[in-house]
């Protein structure tokens, strides 16, 4: 493994609850359509010895203190089908999870940085560029991008690898990434 890579891919919240037809807070078809693109991107980055990390929303049932409990239905509950990685990402991750550059970790807020050691882990590895993929473009991907920007990471948003259940919000976030956060938008 080439530990000199300065790039990491974050695949954010690509779970059954956010993507599958029967998911609790699903993007539905837009989220499902990006699946092959996410797998291809993850595999390309893995083969390039880049870091591929999967920050994944984690909630406990009936958490009256979590602010999302008042905004959204229960989702990504610990140890449920809804929190499992969606589609082909699950077997891809299972196949590669033992590799040094592949890691899944829990997050409990929109941003993958909030309440996690993500920034420390990235800095330990001299990562300066983050590639973002996953769902929802205008919620967890957006909040992760804002925190990354504020921490001086370069951002690359893969437009064919992000989706939301709100097309207006998705379009707004894509423009915000580029115009306000200085992100490079690639297909």
163 belongs to a structural domain: yes
61 belongs to a structural domain: yes
80 belongs to a structural domain: yes
Are 176 and 142 spatial neighbours (Cβ–Cβ below 8 Å)? yes
Domain range for 125 is: 7-186
Number of structural domains (the chain) is 1
Are 129 and 9 spatial neighbours (Cβ–Cβ below 8 Å)? no
Q: Which pLDDT score is estimated for 151?
A: 98
84 belongs to a structural domain: yes
Q: What is the pLDDT along the chain (187 residues), one digit of tens a residue?
A: 445 579 999 999 999 999 999 999 999 999 999 999 999 999 999 999 999 999 999 988 877 777 787 777 788 889 999 999 999 999 999 999 999 999 999 999 999 999 999 999 999 999 999 999 999 999 999 999 999 999 999 999 999 999 999 999 999 999 999 999 999 999 9
Q: Which pLDDT score is estimated for 4?
A: 57
155 belongs to a structural domain: yes
1 belongs to a structural domain: no
CATH number at residue 125: 3.40.50.850
Q: Which pLDDT score is estimated for 166?
A: 95
Q: For residue 35, how many other CB atoms are within 10 A of its CB?
A: 17
2 belongs to a structural domain: no
Picking from 171, 130, 134, the residue whose alpha carbon sits closest to that of residue 38 is 134
Q: Return d(Cα 9, Cα 4) in angstroms, integer.
A: 15
Tokens of 12: 């954010």
Are 153 and 130 spatial neighbours (Cβ–Cβ below 8 Å)? yes
């Amino acid at each position: 493994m080439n530990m000199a890579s300065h790039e990491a891919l974050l695949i954010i919240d690509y779970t059954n609850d956010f993507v599958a037809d029967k998911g609790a807070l699903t993007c539905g078809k837009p989220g499902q359509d990006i699946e092959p693109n996410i797998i291809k991107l993850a595999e390309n980055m893995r083969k390039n010895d880049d870091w591929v990390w999967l920050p994944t929303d984690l909630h406990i049932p009936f958490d009256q203190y979590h602010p999302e409990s008042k905004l959204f239905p229960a989702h990504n509950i610990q140890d449920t089908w809804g929190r499992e990685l969606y589609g082909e990402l699950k077997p891809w991750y299972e196949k590669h999870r033992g590799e040094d550059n592949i890691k899944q970790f829990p997050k409990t807020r929109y941003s993958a940085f909030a309440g996690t050691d993500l920034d420390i882990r990235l800095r330990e590895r001299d990562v300066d560029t983050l590639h973002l993929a996953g769902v929802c473009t205008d919620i967890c991907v957006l909040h992760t991008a804002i925190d990354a920007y504020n921490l001086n990471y370069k951002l690359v948003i893969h437009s064919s690898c992000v989706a939301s259940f709100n097309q207006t919000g998705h379009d707004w976030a894509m423009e915000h990434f580029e115009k306000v956060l200085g992100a490079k938008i690639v297909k």
